[in-house]
C-alpha cells in the first residue's frame, strides 16, 4: 500500500477547505491508509518538505494548494520515484482545471483510483536574488510561465493586503489590478532566440505554457501537459487601445486576435505567427535590464533566462 505525504499551503485555505481536509483525514484513518500532513511555514518550504518526504519513503506527495505549491513540490521530488498528486486548494488552480481536477471530489478520487500519467516539465535557468546577491539557478515548472507584464502583476502577491483581497474575491483581483497596470507598465527591450532566429522587440509579455488558460486568460488554446513542446504567446508593445482590446478579447475567447503585435507558436501552428515557427522545445531571452520571470504564478527571478522542455519528466495521478 502506498504512503501519502500531504504538503499543505495554509495561506489560501478557506473554512470549507479546512473542513474538507479534516474529513479526508478521518476517512483515511478509518481506511488504514498510511499518510501524514505537513503545513508549509514559508515560501519555498513545500520543496524542502517534499524532499524530506521522499527521503522518508513516501510514494505519493500530494500538493495541497495552487499552482505555486505544485511547482515547489515538483522541484522537491523530481528525479525520484515519488509520484505527484494534487488537491486544488489555491486561488487560480490553472493546472488542476486543465487536467479536469478542479473539483475536490474528482481530485480526491484520483488520489486513490487515478491512473498514472506522464507529464512534461519545463526547466528554466535564470537569475535569482539570494542574500542580496544574484546567482543563476535552475527551476522546474508544469503549468505557466511568464516574462514581462504578467510577472510584474504577480509581484502584488508579495503584499499582505493583496493576498487578503485574493482570498476574499478570488481571481477577479488579477484583471482588476491588471487593467490599472496597463496604463503605467513600460515594455522593455528584449532579444528572444527561437531555434536559429533572433527576435528583437519591445516585449509586453511572453508566456510559455502547458495549460490552455492562465487566471482566466485563454492565450494558449492548444497547450497540453504531454505534447512535448511549449505553447508560446508573444505580445509586443502596442497602443493602450490594443492592450485593452487584447485584455478583454482573451478573457472571453481563445481565438487569436488579429494584431500584428500578437503571435502564437504551437506544436502544429505554422501560419499562426509571423515567424513561421512551430514545435518549440527550447528558447532563451535576454535583455539590457532584468525582466521579471514567473513560473506557475510565482515570481522566481529575472532575465536572462533559458527555457527547455523535459518530455514526460514526471509521473502523476489523475
**C-alpha cell read off for 218:** 485563454
Instruction: Give dist(CA 236, CA 23) in Å, integer.
Output: 49
Measured distance CA(34)–CA(66) in Å, rounded: 24
Which three-class secondary structure state does DSSP give residue 239?
coil
Structural domains present in the chain: 4-114 (3.40.50.10330), 123-312 (2.60.200.40)
Whether residue 113 is predicted with pLDDT greater than 80 in this model: the reply is yes
Which pTM does this prediction carry?
0.94
Q: Which residues of the chain form beta strands (DSSP E)?
A: 4-8, 35-39, 60-65, 83-88, 116-130, 133-141, 145-148, 189-194, 197-209, 231-236, 262-265, 282-286, 292-295, 298-317
Any bridge partners for residue 232, and if so which?
Answer: 208, 265
In Å, what is the CA distance from 317 to each residue of 84, 142, 237?
A: 6, 14, 40
Q: What is the pLDDT of residues 31-42, one digit of tens each?
A: 999 999 999 987
**Residue 280, φ and ψ in degrees, nearest 5:** -80, 125
pLDDT in tens, 3-34: 999 999 998 888 999 999 999 999 999 999 99
pLDDT at position 270 is 66
Amino acid at each position: 500500500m502506498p504512503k501519502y505525504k500531504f504538503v499543505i499551503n495554509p495561506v489560501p485555505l478557506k473554512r470549507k477547505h479546512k473542513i474538507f481536509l479534516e474529513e479526508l483525514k478521518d476517512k483515511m484513518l478509518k481506511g488504514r491508509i498510511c499518510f501524514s500532513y505537513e503545513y508549509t511555514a514559508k515560501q519555498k518550504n513545500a520543496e524542502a518538505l517534499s524532499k524530506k518526504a521522499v527521503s522518508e519513503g513516501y510514494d505519493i506527495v500530494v500538493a495541497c494548494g495552487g499552482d505555486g505549491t505544485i511547482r515547489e513540490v515538483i522541484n522537491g521530488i523530481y528525479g525520484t520515484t515519488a509520484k505527484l498528486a494534487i488537491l486544488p486548494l489555491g486561488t487560480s488552480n490553472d493546472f488542476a482545471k486543465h487536467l479536469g481536477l478542479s473539483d475536490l471530489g474528482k481530485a480526491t478520487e484520483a488520489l486513490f483510483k487515478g491512473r498514472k500519467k506522464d507529464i512534461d516539465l519545463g526547466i528554466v535557468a535564470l537569475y535569482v536574488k539570494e542574500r542580496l546577491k544574484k546567482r543563476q539557478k535552475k527551476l522546474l515548472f508544469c503549468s505557466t510561465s511568464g516574462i514581462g507584464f504578467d510577472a510584474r502583476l504577480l509581484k502584488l502577491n508579495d503584499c499582505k493586503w493583496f493576498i487578503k483581497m485574493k482570498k476574499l474575491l478570488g481571481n477577479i483581483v488579477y484583471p482588476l489590478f491588471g487593467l490599472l497596470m496597463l496604463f503605467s507598465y513600460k515594455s522593455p527591450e528584449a532579444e528572444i532566440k527561437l531555434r536559429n532566429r533572433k527576435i528583437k522587440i519591445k516585449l509586453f509579455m511572453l508566456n510559455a505554457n502547458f495549460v490552455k488558460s492562465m487566471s482566466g486568460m485563454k492565450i494558449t488554446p492548444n497547450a497540453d501537459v504531454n505534447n512535448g513542446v511549449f505553447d508560446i504567446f508573444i505580445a509586443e508593445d502596442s497602443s493602450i487601445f490594443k492592450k485593452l482590446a487584447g485584455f478583454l478579447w482573451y478573457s472571453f475567447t481563445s481565438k487569436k486576435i488579429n494584431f500584428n503585435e500578437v503571435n502564437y507558436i504551437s506544436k502544429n501552428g505554422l501560419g499562426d505567427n509571423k515567424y513561421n515557427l512551430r514545435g518549440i522545445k527550447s528558447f532563451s531571452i535576454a535583455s539590457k535590464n532584468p525582466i521579471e520571470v514567473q513560473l506557475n504564478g510565482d515570481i522566481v527571478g529575472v532575465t536572462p533566462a533559458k527555457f527547455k522542455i523535459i518530455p514526460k519528466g514526471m509521473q502523476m495521478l489523475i
